[in-house]
Chain A
Amino acid sequence: MDELDLLKKDWNKQQGNYPKLTFDQIYKMIWKRSHSIVKWIFYISLIELLAGTLLNIIFSGDKYWESIKENGLEEFTIVLYVISYTITFYFIYRFYRNYRKISTTDDASTLMKNILKTRKTVKYYIAYVLISSGILIVGVSVYMILHHTNKDVEDISNYSFEAMDWVKFIGASVLVLTVFLGIIWLFYRLLYGILLRRLKKNYIELKKLEL
């Protein structure tokens, strides 16, 4: 292509036409703060990974523990905690491993792949938190209804629940739950949609034609 050759010729002639930064100007720059997306991804991911743990701690106050005792769910809860913390730490470990792999000295394709992989780990973690808390909430509700052990609802439990009431009750619970989890998911998608849109687009563009 003639035009491109012409451009190349001109490109080489432009050598003297660039700003010339001094040693001191460049020296100052190396201590400035980076605005790279990797940094953002790192911070946001850490917040997300810790948020699950924090929520657990906040909700598991003395009262919570008492009610578990009353219901005779101590062992069950402890096992659940062990499992959930093991899974959380596994995710944190995977995240850290992936994060360490991100290196600007890799080729463009590997770099992009590693960044996306790091994000994917956190995405799976969020999915895990949402799904497991969904199951837990449903499980606990069902348990409470079946056993009527919650003292606060003792009076109410004298009323007989007809089939229609059950459907309404379950329907409302599922709706509230879906909306709640949906909002979290949407927020999460928005955040990353904005942060990773360009990277994803470039990665797809780069890998096009690659077999």
Chain B
Amino acid sequence: MEKELEHQFVTNLERDQNIVHKICRIYTNDQASHNDLFQEITIQLWKAYPKFRGDSKFSTWMYRVALNTAITLYRKKKRGIQTQDYDSVHFRIKVEEYDDDTEQRLSLMYNAVKELNDIDKALVFLYLEDKNYKEISETMGISEVNARVKMNRVKTKLKKILNP
């Protein structure tokens, strides 16, 4: 039974691991921290897995636990050397159709997101993942109105970072 559960869980996570990687990219600045956070999220997902009843999609269920881990449970390790071995340019693949100007704008935008606080990052992440305000409000545990207001403020903050 336990073996079956393990297999099921790992198969699911292997399939949907991109969601976790995306969260790690937003919340960490170097590969080692990325791996650390990925591991912690995996552990927390596994611990919570018995509560997953399958009435929603596995990927939908993951958002909550993964974000909770990134915002609340995970304690950043102090590292001797603060490396930023993937900056905005490094961690994206260049999209052929973009011109240099668009590339430039995107790289500034990725860097701007990095400067936001943990909560704002979560809002941006959920927005990028195409979640509606109802889903955002349920994941974060705030009212829909609050989610909207917060999202608008994040947009303003980003504008300010881009045009100081």
Contacts and interface: CB of A to CB of B under 8 A. Distances in A.
A202 B92 CA distance: 28
A141 interface: no
A30 B43 contact: yes
Interface stretch (A88-96, A104-112, A126-134, A177-185): A104-112
A42 to B, nearest CB: 12
A63 interface: no
B117 A14 contact: no
Interface residues of B, number: 67
**Interface size range on A against B:** 35 or more
A13 interface: yes
Given A10-B95, A206-B141, A104 B69 contact: yes
Contacts of A195: 75
Interface in A66-125: 103-112, 115
Contacts of A30: 6, 9-10, 42-43, 46
Contacts of B61: 105
Given A16-B93, A35-B75, A205-B119, A4 B11 contact: no
Contact of A108 (B38, B52, B139): B139
Interface in B16-47: 17-18, 21-22, 25, 36, 38-40, 42-44, 46-47
Given A3-B162, A112-B72, A202-B71, A105 B48 contact: yes
A10 B106 contact: yes
B119 A107 contact: no
A18 B74 contact: no
B1 interface: no
Interface stretch (A21-29, A48-56, A147-155, A167-175): A21-29
B72 A115 contact: yes
A23 B10 contact: yes
Contacts of A144: none
Which among A8, A103, A109, A111 has the highest number of chain B CB atoms within 10 Å?
A111
Interface string B58-102: 000100110111011111010000000000000111010000001
A64 interface: no
Nearest to B125: A11
A14 B109 CA distance: 15
A29 B124 CA distance: 28
7 contacts: A18-B21, A40-B75, A108-B68, A108-B72, A109-B142, A111-B72, A209-B150
Given A104-B47, A205-B120, 17 more contacts: A3-B105, A3-B159, A4-B155, A6-B105, A11-B22, A18-B17, A20-B17, A23-B14, A33-B43, A35-B36, A35-B74, A35-B75, A108-B71, A108-B141, A112-B72, A202-B71, A206-B141
Interface of B: 6, 9-11, 13-14, 17-18, 21-22, 25, 36, 38-40, 42-44, 46-48, 51-52, 61, 64-65, 67-69, 71-75, 77, 91-93, 95, 102, 105-106, 109-110, 113, 117-120, 122, 124, 127-128, 130, 138-143, 146, 149-150, 155, 158-159, 162
- Give the 7 A-B residue pairs with the shortest CB-CB distance, closest first: A109-B141, A107-B141, A36-B73, A18-B21, A30-B46, A29-B42, A17-B93
Interface of A: 1, 3-4, 6-8, 10-11, 13-23, 26-27, 29-30, 32-38, 40, 103-112, 115, 195, 198-199, 201-202, 205-210
